Structure formats: C-alpha cells, structure tokens
Amino acid sequence: MRTIKVGSRQSALALTQTGYVIQDLRNICDREGLAFDFEVHKIVTKGDLILDVTLSKVGGKGLFVKEIEQAMLDRTIDMAVHSMKDMPSELPEGLVNGAVPRRADPRDALVSRGGLTLDQLPEGARVGTSSLRRSSQLKSYRPDLQLESIRGNIDSRLRKLETEGLDAIILAAAGLYRMGWEDRITEYLSEEACLPAVGQGALGIECREDDEELLHLLTLYNDPATAAPVMAERRFLSVLNGGCQVPIGAHAVWLPEDDSLNSENKLQLTGMVGMPDGRLILKETLSGKDPVRLGEEVAWRLIDRGAEQILAEVRG
C-alpha cells in the first residue's frame, strides 16, 4: 500500500478542497481495487505570509504555488490540489496537471449586507474586492460604486464585510459552496455583469510527470467535459500573457448538440479584457471544436481591438 503525500496550503479553503479530492480519490480506489492511502502535509507559502499587500504588487498568483511545487520536485510531497485559477499557465519542468475534476459553479457571487442585489445597492455603495477583473467589470456596470481593496482568505473577507463597514463583497461562488457558506450568497452575478476568472470553480491536481501509478489514478479522476473548456480559457489567458494579476476574464461552455449530420460537440468561449477603472471593457465570444484554437482566436480578436495596449497600461 502506497501512501500519497498531499501538500496543501493552510487556508481553510485549501484544506477543504484537498479533503474533498482525497475523499473522491479514495472512492475511486475502492471502486477500482487500487491500494493507495493519503495523508495531508501543510505548507506555508509566501502568498500566505504577505496577505496585507495587493497581490499584483508582490508578484502575483505564483506566490501560492511555488513552495508546493518545490516540495513535489523534492519528493517531500507527491501531489497538490490547486484552484485552477491560481495555477500558473506554465508548470515547472518535471510536473504535470494530472487531472481536472468536474467543475463547480464558475460564477462570482455578491455577498451583501441586508441581502441587496447589485442593482439594489445604494448610490455610491462600498464594495470590497481586490481582483482587478471584478472591480473593472463592476465599475463598468455601476460607475457610482466605490470599489475597495480587500485581501485575505475567504473567511477573513467575509468578516471584513462587517468590520470594514462595506456594503458588499464579491467572492467566487465555488469557494463559498466548498466551505458550506453558500447561504451567504445574495446574488449570482451574470456573465454580462462579471465574467469569471479563467478556470474559476475548477481544480487541478498537480504531480510529478514520472509518477506513473499516481497518474493512472488521476486519469480516472479527470473530467474531460471540464478539462476542455478550462483548456480553452487558459490558452486564451496565456496568449494575452495574463500571468500576473490583470483585468482578464473568460468562460467556456459546451453548446448543446445540433441535429446536423456531422455534428460534434462545440465549445463557446467568451473572453474579456478591461481597463481597471471600467471605462472600457472588450469582450468577444466565439465557438469552435478545438479548445486551444478557440482560446487563441478569442485572444487574437481582443488583441485586434487593443487588448495589449490596455494590458500594457495596467502592467506599466
């Protein structure tokens, strides 16, 4: 019996997600007669130590995964569960994404005081988020809103709704669901109001590329119906070079099959790039069968319309 060492950040969300994945993997092992056990190893990352600075100022998302990836390469741990949206587009040499399990709700959610919806918030209401993607789109939708930066894990952000006197905060619905806090959601934001982050709601399971036993198990856990749309979104992001925190969103879905003879399932991808103050939001939707090409085509359309100038300004 092999014990798989699963690295996890210490945040409540990371530990909860890791726990769900281990439970799913145990079920697969029972069903398939595979002899694996699992144990969790907690790892403190740089991102966890500097929760008071805006992410874009300290070097972006990679901060949460670097130490975990090093531990995998060092064989201190064997695998790690990431939120797809925190996973950098390029994995280090020697590591692979072994599975993308079935996606949870990809939408952003409004958590407001008094149960008001986005449209019902009073003139000039203070809304907390530190994601440029969310603030850019909300500013565009409701220019009167005052977007305020809040960082921290979802538990501390929910507390800040009370302690900082905010009217509302925006969080990923998936995180609230996984924590069992979905009753805090006042409204699911439509894609028109707020297109989600690339990969939002999906998880990725990273392991060493030479760990064949584990990769075999992870193949059984992979959900191709999730992996393809997430691939399209991530290809879109990497063409736009969206590694660091920039106002970029994307969401891909499967279109219902049509009745034509040579019908194959098609994906539909919407991508957006916005100015941080919301004055300009570029959005494109295309459909296609190949997720990689689809991601590239939506990105190129936005580049034709000036996406790179917007992003250069944000990064500059």
Phi, psi at 66, each rounded to 5°: -55, -50
Q: Is 276 helix (H, G, I), strand (E, B) or coil?
A: coil
Considering only the stretches 72-80, 168-176, 215-223, 291-299, report the one whose residues sit in contact with ligand PBG under the rule CB under 6 A. Answer: 168-176
Which DSSP string corresponds to 128-172?
Answer: E---HHHHHHHHHH-TT-EEE---S-HHHHHHHHHHTT-SEEEEE
Minimal distance, residue 174 CB to ligand PBG, in Å? 4
As a whole number of angstroms, the distance between CA 192 and CA 90 comes to 29
172 near ligand PBG, judged by CB under 6 A: yes
Give me the least distance between CB of 178 and ligand PBG, in Å please: 7
Q: Which long-range CB contacts under 8 A does 90-97 form with residues at least 24 apart?
A: 90/238, 91/206, 94/208, 94/209, 94/210, 95/69, 95/206, 95/207, 95/208, 95/209, 96/206, 96/207, 96/208, 96/209, 96/215, 97/204, 97/205, 97/206
Q: Which of 171, 246, 275, 311 binds ligand PBG (CB under 6 A)?
A: 171
130 forms part of the interface with ligand PBG (CB under 6 A): no
Among 154, 168, 231, 267, binds ligand PBG (CB under 6 A): 154
Least distance between ligand PBG and beta carbon 201 (Å): 5
Residues carrying an active site annotation: 86
Q: Give the nearer residue to ligand PBG in terms of CB position, either 105 or 211.
A: 105
Per CB under 6 A, 288 contacts ligand PBG: no
137 lies in the site for ligand PBG, by CB under 6 A: no
Q: Work out which of 7, 128, 175, 295 binds ligand PBG, going by CB under 6 A.
A: 175
Footprint of ligand PBG on 65-104 (CB under 6 A) = 83, 85-86
Give 139 or 178: the residue with its C-beta nearer to ligand PBG: 178
The residues facing 208 across adjacent strands are: 95
Q: Is the CB of 176 or the CB of 281 nearer to ligand PBG?
A: 176
Question: Which residue number, 85 or 142, has a Cβ lying nearer to ligand PBG?
Answer: 85
Task: Render 58-123 in DSSP notation, one character per residue.
Answer: HT-GGGGTHHHHHHHHTTS-SEEEEEGGGS-SSPPTTEEEEE-PPP----EEEEEGGG--TTTSPT
Q: Is 206 in the site for ligand PBG (CB under 6 A)?
A: no
Q: How far is the CB of 25 from ligand PBG (least distance, A)?
A: 18
Q: Which of 200, 226, 245, 270 binds ligand PBG (CB under 6 A)?
A: 200
Q: Which residues contact 226 (CB under 8 A, 6 or more apart)?
A: 100, 101, 102, 103, 202
Binding site for ligand PBG (CB under 6 A): 83, 85-86, 154, 171-172, 174-175, 200-201
